[in-house]
Amino acid sequence: MVITHAPAKVIIIGEHFVVHGQPALAAAVSLYSRTTVDAGITGTIKISSPNLGVTDMFPAKQSDDTDLSTSARSLLEPLRRVVMAVLKRAARTDEGLVVEITSSIPVGVGLGSSAATAVSTAFAVARFLDLRIDRSEICELASVQEQIVHKKPSGIDSTTATRGGVILFKVGDSPVSLPQRNQFNIIVGNTGKERSTGDLVSAVTRRVEVGDKDLARISKAAGMLTCEAVRAYEKGDFHRLGKLMDANHELLVKIGVSNPQLDNLVKVAKSAGALGAKLTGAGGGGCMIALSRPEDSKKIAEAIANAGAKPYLVGIDWSGVRELSQ
């Protein structure tokens, strides 16, 4: 048996715009998707998710035109493809496996739940098969699921879940891990409103494709904010970083991906002492994040809860995906 876990992610600055070539700053945080892999019946893959209440059995050699007539199969199909990709890489497509997913990451709210699950599963299956792969290969294998779930993913979610820490990411460039800093906290505020990341990203993409000049200008401004944010982070200037997060939220408001509940949570968090606050992920619901001094974190979390959202006081996960002791 092999047990692994991979962390959730928040985007500190740069969501949406990262899909279209701008840099973004992301952090892995201490909410986890956990995968257990054990031997199963030869030629079959059993996948279950107790959190979602689904389980199903698939032939190991099943083609990509899988029958998705049941809700369980539809939910588990992206993970099946991840498992199959690893089996194919290992040249062991007849292997029987039992795969179980459990997670503390809320689903569909911008914290990278699907990416963390895909990364954890790809790594767990690889370790079970004794397939030696590096972190870039884990991202590659996990992207099979992300392409199904998010339609046009940038890769930032799976990269952050794999590597851990604080990451400077730009499509086409090698990701850069920034130095560890411990002088700040992050509070996540979950509105509880699920939405489709793929649909929201696609809506912005359509504006890019028709040559929306306002969006192009805003996208460039967001890229500049990310570059400034990296400098502020490296200097330990978290007051400046917070101000840049505020500015990024305003850009996201301008492109229409925020909503009144997220805007209110941002306002509430700042009133409670946050250095900066913004939505994180695709928007349209989901989550916001607040940057704070350690001594202000509980007060900010209480303010978020009083405003009707669920707060999470999270730490930075500096390890990324890893195997757990049994």
Catalytic residue IDs: 157
Q: Classify the C-alpha dihedral 200-304-229-9 as positive or negative.
A: negative
**Quick one: DSSP state of residue 296?**
G
Residue type, 182: N
Report the alpha-carbon distance of residue 130 to residue 126 in Å, rounded. 6
Count H helices and E strands in the chain, helices first: 9, 12
Residue 152 falls in which region: left (phi positive, over 0), alpha (psi -120 to 50) or beta = beta
Q: Helical H runs in the chain?
A: 71-89, 113-128, 135-150, 156-163, 197-209, 213-235, 238-254, 260-271, 297-306
Which residue bears the tokens 């945080």? Answer: 29
Which residue bears the tokens 């850009």? Answer: 251
Task: Tell me the β-bridge partners of 56.
Answer: 47
* Alpha-carbon distances of 187 from 12, 45, 82, 147, rounded to whole Å: 12, 38, 31, 29
310-314 β-sheet, strand order: 276-280, 287-292, 185-190, 310-314
Per-state percent for the chain, helix, strand, coil, to nearest 5: 45, 25, 35
